[in-house]
Structure 1
Amino acid sequence: MAAILLFLLFLSTFSTATAQPKHTNITLGSSLSATNNSTSWFSPSGLFAFGFYQEGAGFRVGIWLETNPNKTIVWTANRDDLPVSSNSKVILLNSGLFLRTAGAQDKIISVGISSTSCASASILDSGNLVLYNSDYKSIWESFGSPTDTILGSQSLLSNNQLLSSVSETDHSIGRFRLYMQSDSNLVLYPKDTGDNAADSYWSTGTLNTGYILRLHLYQDGIMYLVNGSDYNISFVARRTVADNGIAIYRATIDIDGIFRLYSHSFAMNGTSTMTTDWAALSNKCLVKNFCGYYSYCTLVDNQPDCLCLPGYNFIDPDQRFKGCSRSFSGEGCMGKKETSTYSIFTMENMYFEDFFYAISSMQKEDCRKACFSDSSCEAANFQNGKCKKLMLPLRYGRASGSDSTTTFIKVGSSTNFSPNATSTVDGESKKELRVKILIGGIILATFSVASFAFSGFLIYRNQAQSYRKMTENNNLGLSEEIVLRSFSYNELVRATDNFKEELGKGAFGTVYKGTLYNSNRMVAIKRLDKVVEEGEREFRTEMRAIGRTHHRNLVRLLGFCDEGSARLLVYDYMCNGSLANLLFKAESQPDWKERMRIALDVARGIFYLHEECEPHIIHCDIKPQNILMDGFRTAKISDFGLAKLLMPDQTRTFTGVRGTRGYLAPEWQKNTPISVKTDVYSYGIMLLEIICCRRNVELEVADNEIVLSEWVYSCFVAGELHKLLDGEEVEGKILDRVVKVGLWCIQDEPALRPSMKNVILMMEGNMDIPIPPSLTSSMNIS
């Protein structure tokens, strides 16, 4: 009884200290204003409040815990919208809770309730904002759509996730997510990744328990995974101090990507003390993507810091977590000979925890040499006799402390190395080099004498010339630049069993399935139909172009055949077929998250072709049929860099139309120059197809739905984007964002289309997206 009286006394004291009105029932027509003295709706205890809170120069709508002197934000409405001005209001209407701003249409906060069914609202002492109908039954709760936090008595349901905030002062969506998977596993991921084990950095390991589980935080500070019957199935965390007073518990995925349990203890004077009771990880460097691409995480005085790899500089020195960009000139992807060569930089106790495209048993020095000689290898980890190779982009790097891991990184030989690592020149030692030069000189002298001695014999001279020509053709003069194998035509006939199994056919030629005789490696062999037959130099130039491109989202070229009139290309075999088959022919299409991962994969591949190659490559035929899926369902662009292999009249900028009907940008028909923006247009059409899992043109649908781009735009204008998904559940603001990206990409005017860099930023939620204009608008976000 004494404890109850003490608790009531506390509530009374706290209420007086806050000097704010408290609401137990919020009636229709009630409103809140965003001002410097913003009004709020309080829970009966006064511990929780709902209303406007200040963020920068503007205001957001949310729920917070009154932890004096600062508020602890636990929920935010419409997180990715910009903060609103001080003349904004929140109003409760019979159709729900709305945000009203000057000059704009009311935006609903209580998404998903039935129209004209709301009668009242309350904010409870649990921190839950609840809307009720006339029978006082709950029709919407903030607990049903958590942001980065769950509170005592709240659950994170199966197939739902918490998303971190950008910073302590910016509560829009950040870089990490906690996902309560349908397979019963609770997992932490970087936000913009698929649900792959290779991308996770913490989990409860509760796979396939036989139950549909949810994460539940009890009011006494204990977290369990519980089933539908409320039985505790798996313990997650508990408070670390005795609950002797009044405490509020919350579990939050913080801005650093770590999931933590906090307790807030309140004193009689209204002040509070926060304690971290539990954290999923103690080492922040274990958080994947804590540091961005081409950087790595290291602990300094037990605090994480991001450093660039050798040969790279920070994209933004003030925000080091954004990663780094290359500071040296790499090999040109259109065959341009660079003056700089590559070197291997060695970093001890350094590790990349990412997907390795090749793993082999070998010695440490052999691992270094293997990466240097492999044109696809950008870095290699060596540990316990295993050499693991990585392609671009390099991510998830961390200094591994006492771990005996060595990382070899390929950089320009002119790079100024930092003093905290050791470098080794990629070539042989000077002594080995002198020996090779001597041997080469002897061979050259011997060859000269032999050639002079037999120069009088016409037949031998012709044979020698023929032999030299064949050697030149087979090597393409590229031995110092790319590692491509030259196949004979008979080898490829044997590999394909005389071109027996056709995989597909396109504008460039026909693709066949094959198996290389020596290695039993499955390959895809493209026999080109419209190749320039006269002149070997053009073909060799294009081999340089294709062979020197390497990116995880481009199909890898392994070799070629240049024999007589035969021109064939040998690629890695993509066992999961094309994106077109996946979207349009599969019995069950990939879910929304996988489709968005695929869309980002393709965008990154196009960005590489447009901006990271020198000179740049315009693909000219982006479509689902040219996007292939490997064994991990990683999307890879095919048929890139083939433009100059075609007949000359198919490569002209002004006259020869290339590509596929339905994906062609309008400039092809206007006799205007093409640019990288033509690929952006094709990508936009394909993105809409990925969103809707249907082709751009379908005849067996309603008349207003035949042309997909027109139907999407009409649904966007009408606010009916849910019609595009055929019942699939997708968060409205995410769907809205991706649709807007697609609509920007297919603007008639090339200048209106965004660059692929901005497409990626918008897709990832790192760039604001204006409302797409009509085709006559002059707005530009490129």
Structure 2
Amino acid sequence: MGFAPFLAFSLLFPFFTFLSSAPLAFHAVYPNFTASNFKFIDDSGTFLASLNNTFTASITNSKSDSSNYFFLITHVVSDTIIWSANPYNPVSISSPLTLSPAGLSLSDDDSGALVWSTPPLPSPVAAMHLLDSGNLLLLDHANVTLWQSFDVPTDTILVGQRLPVRNPLFPATTEDDDMSFRLLLTDDDLLLQWNQLTFWKLSMDLKAFRHSYSPVSFLAINGSGFYLFASDGSTVVMHLSLNSNLGELFRFGRLGFDGRFKITSFVNGGFVDEFVGPSENCQLPTPCGKLGLCSSGTCSCPPSFTGDSQNKNGCVPADSSVSLASPCGNVSKANVAGELNSSFSYLRLTDGVDYFANNFMEPENHGGDLQSCKDLCSRNCSCLGIFYEDSSSSCFLIWDKIGSVMSAKRSRVGYIKTLQMTPISEGKSRKRIPLVGLILIPSSAIFLVIAIGVLLCFRRLRVLATLQRSESSSSMELDMTLIPGLPVRYGYDEIVTATDNFKTQIGSGGFGTVFKGTLPDKSVVAVKKISSQGAQGRVNFCAEIAVIGNIHHVNLVRLKGFCVEGRQKLLVLEYMNRGSLDKALFGDGPVLEWRERLEIALGTARGLAYLHSGCDHKIIHCDVKPENILLSQSLGVKISDFGLSKLLTPEQSGRFTTLRGTRGYLAPEWLTSSAISDKTDVYSYGMVLLEIVRGKKNCSFEEKDGEYFPLVALEMHMMGGRYLELADPRLEGRVRGEEVEMLVRVGLCCVHEDPALRPTMANVVGMLEGGVAVAVANANPILESLNFLYLYGSKFSEPSNLTPQNQSALWRALVSATTTTTQPHPILGNHKSNSHRTASSHLSSHQLSGPR
């Protein structure tokens, strides 16, 4: 539309908005526009249509006899509502929808209160359009989109629309609905949840296929399927095939009232459900109401319960003297009035039942008995029941709301928390207490309190003595019930059977040997046998199971279980069938292709970024190296052994000075008084990144004419960017120059001597993904802070023919050096900014660990 017609239409449009003699439906509307259902004589409330009339925008009621009105977008042919501005806040028939330069808003006509509006916009609105895709747009005078309905979905996603991570769908509700379902996309899966409890995952559906372990960025539907994409918009992480031979159709995904997610097509005048998740009724949280038993799709009440589960009203205890416990803040009036005495008891469910959430969450506790599980529930008013698994001593709790139970073969037993109600007869006369009783009762109470206090003191002393004996005795087994959130605990005999008596060794390290094993459910695992038997070994073991057991990320190795029996300590870990990066990168097998190296670099960076900033407590790995980066055949990349690190607060980091890690990857601050921080991991990652580029170790005493590759990379960077010469020659040019440059520059940024100049791992991820420029602050190689590489390189070139004993002597001598280093370099000149440091601060990370 040209400027003149646009101006004319703009002048006449306010006049049109006041007409009530004909229905109004335009392909675009402009600011100072107001509409309501009352203004349209055809009762449809339609005021805007897409160019081909595929979709319309209207203010209408959901039912013909309802007085509740909503601002909706509807697919015309199928009469399907695909978006609503106010699905949970209906308005009256005369409530106005207003388009102004500030945005779009819906107000309540009775009170004048704002019901819904678009957020603040960066520039004034010039027009509102509805596209034939179903997307409602607000545009400025430059035709730039200021806001779109596709960014704020309600219960539906259309073809061409993206649903980003952490932007859930909720079912559309009416006035008498109280739903707690949501569809949530995470960085590794698509979940269905009820009251934030997961009951379905796309990855567990037999029709879904996983292609990559890259973090998910968004989901989308097209003509051939349902896809979860990575951040680059082209890498498919997971997909679900749909029928591509249906011809012309209208396809959409929707979260329904019952909690199911369906992908539906409107074809030849009818609806076809192409995918339903979950497919079985009994997989839903509430198919039979509260405590109703779902078996093969039919509902009943468990034994000892009664009710109307067929109508989903749920079940209650058959014994009328027992009632279900109420969650926190929902106490019955009888209890408030003090008319009833109550005490907790637990009503056992029948055998062969389970709860929908148990297979999707970690147990609340491990290692305790059934009574300790009940006690745990009794101490928390939000807990309404338990499921206890005797084989693993696992305790699962039911929180806040109770759904249905389902038939299952798993050996868990369920108990529902109840109140034993004992009425106090109103007709009973209160007996008078004699005067002597009034005197003796308080005195007795005082003596009783004193006696209890003395007993508690003695008990505390006994506990302290027991703890001291426990710490001094290395043979004393740790009480694992004191550590919350532990994974499955296995018996030593189970581990021996799973590993065929530790037959197949697949790795070893400073804390133990790793064996391949197979659990009874046929899943392959890696079993790490902790070799350290001293107190330090116990400390590291406890740290590992406490940390790894509660951390879940696509780029971190999952701890599946553990075993503690006497002096035996073992970890049951996720198995990675391709081994570690050092074997793939430095071994004699097929060369690791460039695209794989990029995926490994990015996956490792994401895992470290999560440890540093995605956990509840910052976790510093302290031993980042190729041996601790594991691979799978499907290009999965996972970091291992991060459980051996410490959880550091800023106050603790300054006191953490114990030398750790592996030569070649240790940051210079290990030998100074500098605090160990997440930037220490960044340095190690930078060294690994340079090795990924070159395809061999950065330094090796075994090579006669070896080179210190980080120094070579620095010199090539300074000599005009001869980055292609740095790539692994085995690749024979199968690389992209700009990607080699990016990895080299990022690697050099990471190994700055000054930790403050190194980027964070989150910034590293941004640089590798292309979202953060390498030239931004803390992301461009600073030559003055890379000066120390010359000393590292010179020290490396000298001892090429040294024996391991001589290497160790050299390392000790360099560590003890105290003279300053101020000699100029031929290119960089004086390194004044660090001239106050001792020579020990310039030692190569290869040298400062010494032989292992």
Q: TM-score category by the smaller chain?
A: 0.3 to 0.5
Higher gyration radius (CA) = 2
Structure 1-normalised TM-score? 0.44
Higher relative contact order (CA 8 A, sep 6+): 1
